[in-house]
Structure 1
Amino acid sequence: MTREELLSRKASRNCHGQDSSYFLGWQEYEKNPYHPTTNPAGIIQMGLAENQLSFDLVESWLEGHPDAGELKRDGVSVFRELALFQDYHGLPAFKNALAQLMEEIRGNEVRFDPAKLVLTAALLPPTRSLCFASLNRAKHSSCQPILSRVRTYPLSLAIILLWRTGVEIVPIRAASSNGFKITKMALTPLIDGPKSMIFG
């Protein structure tokens, strides 16, 4: 049996993130990493998940809020409360605080219902869920595309979304010159290209 026959379709997909141009930056960073004292002229890693620019802010906040780092509330441990937390759409207290913050940012002209907020660890989990949902939908319909406005970066597309879900993702470029509006000019080549591949 060949390797492809032994492995599942997902395992044998040729879309590993290491082949992405995203990793070219990582390779340069590893050759010459920035350090504030030993290598101030080095390269700073700006990858979203690996960004180290806010470490000083987090450290200073933790110094002023020691209870947070020790998983305490008013000096009492909340470890057991957090360790078994099962509500996978977000801590109620955090959702309430976030809803209040979003209302304040908008001058209290808009109301947000905390019960309708779904909090996830970054943007990829809900995007991945949408991909799985669209894949399931495609199996039971005429395979129409779903247009979803999300921000992501090449590694996400190459590894986390395409490889895990099997959904072909076509990024739509938006520009700041028009307020990041999705235009017909940007959509036309993206629609015509896949159409010709599918229908000939």
Structure 2
Amino acid sequence: MTSPDRDQLTAYALGILPPEEEARVRAALEADPELRAGVDADREALAALAEVLPQEPLPDGAEERLMARLARERAATAAPGVSTPPPSPARRPNRTWLPLAALGLAAALALVFVLWPEGDPLRRYANTPGATVQRLEANGGDLGQLVRLPDGRAYVYLARPAEAGRVYQMWQIRGGVPVSLGVFEGQGFLLTGLTPGATVAVSVEPPGGSPQPTTTPILVRQL
């Protein structure tokens, strides 16, 4: 099975592929977890962008004009002499994606390259519109970065991976008691659902994590 190209993956994330092509891309994603994770990252980044775009009512006929424009753009990039069928009417983009899709497929691709550079979550979150990036330090050294997202989430990235046979674990300090939020996926952890002013900490633990910290936290931070 031929792996989908960037154009197809972005169109899939936007929900504008014809049914047959969508089925082929879905099958490829089911067979390739890494590729599927990349598309999930695309959708998350596009959703974050949609949240900060102005919400305006769509004029009558906007969806039809959008689909016709996307069909023209796809045809313009097709090989000479190859006819590109218009997107199926049954697969119009969800209204959540319309502000993004209205940018045109080429512009959406450019956004994905910026927001998901080679699957790097740190750069993807840092490039989210409205995000702020802060340096994390410990004992005078560089520990990593904290990205605050406009929707209240925060992404913690540690500059160095945990030592062999160990993992980083995230905690929320509630009333002086650490409550596990889970272990890191690699060197990053996305914090969600925490109120402003919440205190979090990171410790180094055995694989799978621990019910309570077994080492002194390497990071304690108030959000």
TM-score, with normalisation over the residues of structure 2? 0.22
Which has the higher Rg, Structure 1 or Structure 2? 1
Determine which structure has greater relative contact order: mean sequence separation of CA pairs < 8 Å that are 6+ residues apart, divided by chain length.
1
TM-score by length of 1: 0.23
Q: Which has the higher strand share?
A: 2
Structure (1/2) with the larger helix percentage: 1
